[in-house]
Amino acid sequence: MGFFDELKLDPGVYGFNDLKPGDWYNTGAIVVSESHLINFAGISGDFFDIHMDPIFAKNNGYKDRIAHGLLVLSLIDGLKNRAPVSLKAIASLEWNEWQFIAPVYIGDRILAKITIKDLRVTSNSARGVVRLMFEVINQNDEVVQKGCNHLLVQR
């Protein structure tokens, strides 16, 4: 077992005081479907051609339509919330430094590696903020998105 394996969190429920910087875990995976793309376009109103028109996508250097970046972020947040590692979350406070690195296509299988970047206490002694660093990884082990989520967690 290597050093980084020792920092991998076992399945379970964790509060603020149970975590330390460097701890990490993987979410389960999801396959991005055409239904995800179409439904997200309907909900968000984002019918931009790169998501809806395969000819437009191919004429602009992509192999097919690509999933909305915010769709992928939404799917990853859902995977975080049902991962085998559960944080005693109260609320998501912030998403920042988010980067769309590579396209995600219909049929791609994605998951997230989530690493505890740092923790800070709040003025309320019953709560703390955990900064989670996300790497969204596809079936080819390529990082397609990454960024940070500030999560309010029970202490």
Output the pTM of the full model. 0.93
User: What are residue 120's DSSP bridge partners?
Assistant: 129
Tens of pLDDT, residue by residue over 61-97, are 999 999 999 999 999 999 999 999 999 999 999 999 9
Whether the CB-CB separation of 72 and 138 falls below 8 Å is answered with: no
Query: Is 26 among the domain residues?
Result: yes
**Domain that includes residue 95, residue range:** 3-31+69-154
CATH of the domain at 131: 3.10.129.10
Split into its structural domains, the chain has a count of: 1
- The letter for the amino acid at 125 is S
